[in-house]
């Protein structure tokens, strides 16, 4: 009988997903194209959890009870927070958008929400962070995206009984799923009504109601009411793109596909493995090893590693959403600011090979990757061992030169459909040797 009930529920949820119909508006299609051309954005994980200096999962990892965690906002007073500096840091790095955590799994809301007392206005800080970032993004010409957690470790109405995280936070009262869905819809209405144009809503936490991230055929243990939620978003702001970090292929109503700590089609981090869609793509990654502020995490990636990840993401036709985890005082970690500045300096010189490009006609290789724009192909040599590279270009090659010195012609030969590039005579750039190929 239990198996029958489980099968019936699974089929019900699956039929609800398949029953969704969605036709994106012209505004949404335009927004998809703009998002797809931006290639680089800043992810910001920040909130009271930063006080503990152990990452944004500290409540779950330490099994902190809700009554104890409730104390944190009482001394969350980031007096050095400056939205102007944050947005300027993103802009100097060459980023085109910011994805700000509005509410993470710990349930704390970073705006003046009327749906919960657990929010930024009930701290000594008493300032609406979402509002200040939204206003500054508009002033500096950066698009604003908002992360919103589907999962909640604090609220009793979230169906914590069937979730695989947040088990040790002290909840004992039975959940009330309809109440939780209504709460989320009310909060999303606030975010999409009071803070100007929002480029994307970035959902996270669907995986909490799955047994693992490896079986892509699993059905969620709850009905997330995505049809209602996605429809609400598209009604409030038709151009707003919906994405969901469920580690699955896109569901009906979603406008872009993201990959966590992995490039599209890869699964080195163990969270991916899903098929790659034709929607705009985005991969998210950290500068060190943590999303939220972690005082002991010194494993900062080098500027070269960050540039290479951005280039490879572009080679797949994907954006890179690169994370910063500001300190509890409101400042972005100085090492992260310095690294982002170096990436920005590289983009000032080489941005034409990244922004507005499409993924290459072959997927990234060990030696590097290709980005393309119209009849121009950019070959990014990230690892030059001097060996020749043979490629079958979709169009006939007209000329080939180094991007940093266009007078420097690159030697190549064409036989049949194959063009072989001679790398032995090229002096490698220490970060990325870029060959510009003009075709016709």
Q: What is the pLDDT of residues 170-202, one digit of tens each?
A: 999 999 999 999 999 999 999 999 999 999 999
Among the listed residues 219, 217, 197, the one whose alpha carbon sits nearest the alpha carbon of residue 209: 219
The burial of 19, by beta-carbon neighbours within 10 Å (0-12 exposed, 13-18 middle, 19 or more buried), is given as exposed
**CA-CA distance, 8 to 14, in Å (whole number)?**
10
The burial of 108, by beta-carbon neighbours within 10 Å (0-12 exposed, 13-18 middle, 19 or more buried), is given as buried
Q: CA dist 97 to 38, 141, 269, 433, Å? A: 8, 9, 25, 27
Is residue 19 predicted with pLDDT exceeding 50?
no
**pLDDT per residue as tens digits for the range 238-262:** 999 999 999 999 999 999 999 999 9
Residues of the chain with pLDDT > 90, as a percent, come to: 93
- Per residue, the 3-state secondary structure of 44-95, as one string, reads ECCCHHHHHCECCCHHHHCCCCHHHHCCHHHHCCCCCCCHHHHHHHHHHCCC
Q: CA dist 318 to 138, 218, 276, 355, 428, Å? A: 24, 26, 11, 11, 25
Q: What is the pTM of this model?
A: 0.95
**DSSP helix/strand/coil, 119:** strand
Is residue 74 predicted with pLDDT exceeding 50?
yes
**pLDDT per residue as tens digits for the range 290-302:** 999 999 999 999 9
C-alpha atoms less than 13 angstroms from C-alpha of 6 in its C-beta half-sphere: 7
Is residue 372 predicted with pLDDT exceeding 60?
yes
Q: How confident is the model at residue 20 (pLDDT cuts 50, 70, 90)?
A: low
Q: Backbone dihedral region of 70: left (phi > 0), alpha (psi from -120 to 50 degrees) or beta? A: alpha
**CA-CA distance, 317 to 280, in Å (whole number)?**
8
Decide if 139 contacts 106 (C-beta within 8 A): no
Tally: H helices and E strands in the chain: 10, 16
């Amino acid at each position: 009988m239990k198996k029958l009930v489980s099968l019936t529920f699974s089929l019900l949820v699956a039929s609800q997903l398949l029953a969704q119909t969605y036709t994106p508006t012209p505004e949404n299609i335009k927004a998809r194209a703009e998002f797809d051309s931006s290639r680089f954005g800043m992810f910001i994980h920040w909130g009271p959890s930063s006080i503990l200096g152990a990452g944004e999962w500290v409540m779950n990892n330490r099994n902190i009870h809700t009554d104890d965690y409730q104390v944190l906002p009482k001394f969350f007073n980031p007096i050095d927070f400056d939205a102007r500096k944050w947005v300027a840091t993103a802009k100097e790095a060459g980023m085109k958008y910011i994805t700000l955590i509005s509410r993470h799994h710990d349930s704390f809301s970073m705006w003046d929400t009327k749906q919960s007392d657990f929010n930024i206005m009930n701290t000594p800080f008493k300032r609406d962070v979402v509002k200040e970032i939204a206003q500054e993004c508009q002033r500096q010409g950066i698009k604003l995206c908002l992360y919103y957690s589907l999962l909640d470790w604090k609220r009793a109405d979230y169906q914590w009984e069937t979730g695989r995280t947040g088990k040790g936070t002290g909840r004992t009262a039975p959940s009330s799923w309809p109440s939780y869905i209504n709460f989320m819809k009310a909060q999303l209405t606030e975010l999409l009504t009071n803070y100007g144009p929002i480029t994307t809503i970035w959902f996270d936490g669907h995986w909490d109601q799955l047994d693992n991230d490896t079986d892509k055929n699993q059905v969620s243990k709850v009905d997330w009411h995505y049809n209602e939620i996605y429809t609400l978003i598209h009604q409030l702001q038709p151009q707003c793109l919906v994405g969901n970090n469920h580690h699955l292929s896109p569901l009906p109503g979603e406008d872009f596909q993201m990959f966590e700590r992995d490039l599209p089609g890869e699964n080195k981090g163990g969270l991916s493995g899903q098929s790659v869609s034709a929607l705009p793509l985005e991969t998210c990654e950290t500068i060190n090893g943590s999303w939220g502020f972690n005082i002991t995490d010194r494993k900062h990636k080098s500027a070269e590693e960050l540039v290479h990840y951005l280039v490879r993401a572009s080679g797949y036709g994907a954006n890179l959403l690169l994370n910063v985890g500001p300190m509890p005082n409101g400042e972005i970690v100085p090492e992260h600011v310095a690294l982002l500045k170096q990436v920005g300096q590289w983009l000032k010189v080489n941005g034409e090979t990244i922004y507005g490009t499409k993924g290459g006609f072959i997927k990234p290789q060990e030696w590097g990757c290709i980005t393309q724009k119209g009849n121009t192909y950019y070959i990014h040599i990230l690892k030059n061992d001097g060996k020749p590279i043979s490629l079958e270009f979709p169009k006939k090659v007209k000329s080939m030169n180094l991007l940093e010195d266009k007078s420097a012609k690159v030697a190549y030969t064409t036989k049949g459909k194959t063009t072989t590039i001679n790398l032995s005579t090229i002096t490698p750039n220490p970060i990325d040797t870029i060959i510009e190929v003009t075709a016709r």
